[in-house]
Structure 1
């Protein structure tokens, strides 16, 4: 189903607000973009947040461990039907930890809900490609 230009533009604006808030380490700004029943997976084995407060604690931990954080999204694909939208994107997560800059190249998927006044994140998932899995291969090398 084609997504209207208005919906596309609104979802892109929310993604930009999320990326901008991430770059400012603005926990309140990020939490304001999520549903009270928000759910998320991060890249670490223990990174699972259910609810706004769990997401807040996750962000506090992330931001305490990095001097700088920035996120760039590319190849963004958006779908929507009614008041539900979904997005997927390639993600470059730029961080400085212990004075050492790093870029983690990964992926992001998200589900958003339209409230009538704004789009908010209901679910999000960040992932990193499996180490040792070559292009064209279905599984990492053992």
Structure 2
């Protein structure tokens, strides 16, 4: 089944569509790692929104996204982006993803470090490809103990 034929609403994602969504995620990981700005622009929607892990990493529009990606690319060399424990669901025109994420990087002369986080994404089937419409990357709050819903409890 090609992407265009999946524009029927009310259906769950097929295995083929889930593989297409995963391929988009993998293309994003590769573009991020290789600092391929043009590919990033092709993968992400013009209406992209989301959050990164930093307090100022708020993406409300395409310009915010461009600024964030350029900042990321200027501050570190990404060695790997990995997704694990990935769950992909949807209805044929929209897919939603939850996944654990890890980013291995170096900054300046520092040794490689790994950011372990969690990501969510919403993707839209455009008829010819999947476009990332919304993204969120966060890391667990270090001051909150396992088994507790709030820090300090």
Partner of 1:82: 92
By how many angstroms is 1:69 displaced? 4.5
User: d(CA) in 1 for partners of 2:17 and 2:77?
Assistant: 35
User: d(CA) in 1 for partners of 2:120 and 2:77?
Assistant: 25
- The 5 Å alignment of 1:41-60 reads 41-60=51-70
For the 8 Å contact 2:13–2:92, the answer to whether it is kept is no
Partner of 1:7: 17
Q: Which moved more, 1:97-106 or 1:48-57?
A: 48-57
For the 8 Å contact 1:63–1:69, the answer to whether it is kept is no
Partner of 1:105: 116
Where relative contact order (Cα < 8 A, 6+ residues apart) is larger, the structure is 2
Q: Which has the higher strand share?
A: 1
- Uncovered stretches (5+) of structure 2, i.e. residues with no partner: 1-10
Give the paired residue count.
142
Partner of 2:134: 123
C-alpha deviations, 1:20-55, integer Å up to 9, x for none?
111101121112111111102001111011222321
User: d(CA) in 1 for partners of 2:101 and 2:78?
Assistant: 16
Partner of 1:67: 77
